[in-house]
Amino acid sequence: MLWKSDIPLVIVLVVLGVQTCLAQINRGSFPKGFVFGTASSAYQYEGAAKEEGRGSTVWDKFSHSFGKVADFSNGDVAVNQYHLYTGDIQLMKDMGMDAYRFSIAWSRIFPNGTGKINQAGVDHYNNLINALLANGIEPYVTIYHWDLPQALEDKYGGWLNPQIIKDFAAYVEVCFQKFGDRVKHWMTFNEPHTFATQGYDVGLQAPGRCSILLRLFCRAGNSATEPYIVAHNTLLSHATVADIYRKKYKARQHGSVGVAFDVIWYEPATNSTEDIEATQRAQDFQLGWFIEPLIFGDYPSSMKSRLGSRLPKFSKDESALLKGSLDFVGINHYTTFYAKHNSTNIIGVLLNDSLADSGAITLPFKDGKAIADRANSIWLYIVPHGIRSLMNYIKQKYGNPPVIITENGMDDSNSPFISIKDALKDEKRIKYHNDYLSNLLASIKEDGCNVKGYFVWSLLDNWEWAAGYTSRFGLYFIDYSDNLKRYAKDSVQWFKNFLNTT
């Protein structure tokens, strides 16, 4: 059933007092058919930025702009998986992984976003898909992982213009035609909330638009309106291609279409009514913003009441197209924050942006104390029970849809003072995955959550967007100074044991 109580669901789940399960777990602990894999994206992995007809993307331009990336790096080479994929597939196979989630670069299929198909790009992904299947690894394909062809950004403003819906649909239909006979799991978008807010609200990701703090960070943009326009066009793009798939391809290809949503779990900073309600609003402005139109056909009521005319409206036909257009829910989950009511609204006055519109302050601190131990990234605190609470939240609020954990993982720093030998000793990562998987298992077996798979971010250390190469999320260490050699961290052996024990 759907959650209908007046009591915000987030507080009910916190009161449950979900605990970390410390029992020994392995593949056999999970339901039969549960899928384990690793995840990646084209711009972070492929490299070969100017090879075989690939067109430029907004991330090419952004990462080559001074000061946009922490270490002044870019994804021109990344980890060179475009050329090294056969070896990387062998690493997955040796570990016992069932699946690989990767993204297709739009600009490899259509270098200018539209027009003539680049056959070399099609050939590459055909070769990759065939190699995966030949090694018993199922392809899970993300169609858009933030790398918009620069030509469409230059031509009409990309996601800010409804023309993007038609151009995206044309690109995606080519993907269905060329790869859909073998690809059975599609994600139209990776983290639409992230690229809407980070790209068009605070300007920290491509295309780097914002208007916060008197436009000190961005040359153009409107943080109060553009994130909502981008989100609106993204949602309609998903619904359009999901409808195309169901009408033209599903009967013979038998695949499914979902979205990978980014979700921080939020817990109330106190048990006050104000903080409990703020926690629900924070979740509405994160997950609810994108999932509710695709399940219910409209935005959360808290967004509509707080934003008024700044929030675009769906027509009746659009609402009908959106509603029920998810075959599964992808969840990228890493961490948990506290949420509290923003009583002063100082942040809202300073920023005038979507991150302040919820009227909630979300931070990993309370009374000067961190919520938990931190990984390397400033936002990534290790709170394993959060994944169980989040699965229960989705189950109760959205009718227990099929869920795939499309990303979960933690990073270490890329320090020049740590030897490769020591960098391979990643006990913290092993504990992270053990504890998150234990809580995920409890959500399935004890709580009845409908979770179907788990994808580690990531197989390899890689280029991490604005963090560049300063962050290492991989199960395999990449030696950036020696031909991108791959070295197994201790977590590889842990996953081998986990996946080969039933």
- Which 8-state DSSP code applies to residue 27? G
Q: Tell me, what's the pLDDT at 354? A: 76
The model scores a pTM over 0.85: yes
CB distance 341 to 360 below 8 Å: yes
Q: Where are the domains of the chain?
A: 28-499
Q: Tell me, what's the pLDDT at 317? A: 98
- Active-site position among 267, 277, 318, 407: 407
Q: Tell me, what's the pLDDT at 502? A: 82
Does the annotation mark 407 as catalytic? Answer: yes
Per-residue pLDDT of the chain (502 residues; tens, 9 = 90+): 444 444 456 545 544 443 444 358 999 999 999 999 999 999 999 999 999 999 999 999 999 999 999 999 999 999 999 999 999 999 999 999 999 999 999 999 999 999 999 999 999 999 999 999 999 999 999 999 999 999 999 999 999 999 999 999 999 999 999 999 999 999 999 999 999 999 999 999 999 999 987 577 899 999 999 999 999 999 999 999 999 999 999 999 999 999 999 999 999 999 999 999 999 999 999 999 999 999 999 999 999 999 999 999 999 999 999 999 999 999 999 999 999 999 886 555 455 567 799 999 999 999 999 999 999 999 999 999 999 999 999 999 999 999 999 999 999 999 999 999 999 999 999 999 999 999 999 999 999 999 999 999 999 999 999 999 999 999 999 999 999 999 999 999 999 999 998 8
Q: Tell me, what's the pLDDT at 353? A: 64
> Pairing between strand 365-366 and 369-370?
antiparallel
Q: What is the Cα–Cα distance from 281 to 51, expressed in whole angstroms?
A: 45
Three-state secondary structure of 143-202? EECCCCEHHHHHHHCHHHCCHHHHHHHHHHHHHHHHHCCCCCEEEEEECHHHHHHHHHCE
Q: Tell me, what's the pLDDT at 216? A: 76
By CB atoms closer than 10 A (0-12, 13-18, 19+), residue 156 is middle
Q: What is the Cα–Cα distance from 166 to 45, expressed in whole angstroms?
A: 28
CB distance 69 to 63 below 8 Å: yes
- Which 8-state DSSP code applies to residue 381? B
Fold entry, domain 28-499: TIM Barrel (3.20.20)
- Active-site position among 191, 226, 267, 318: 191
Q: What is the Cα–Cα distance from 176 to 186, expressed in whole angstroms?
A: 9
Count CA atoms closer than 13 A to 130's CA, side-chain side: 7
| DSSP track, 394-460 | HHHHHT---EEEEEE---EE--TTS-HHHHT--HHHHHHHHHHHHHHHHHHHTT---EEEEEES-SB
Place of tokens 């669901």: 9
Q: Tell me, what's the pLDDT at 15? A: 41
Backbone torsions φ then ψ of 187, nearest 5 degrees: -115, 115
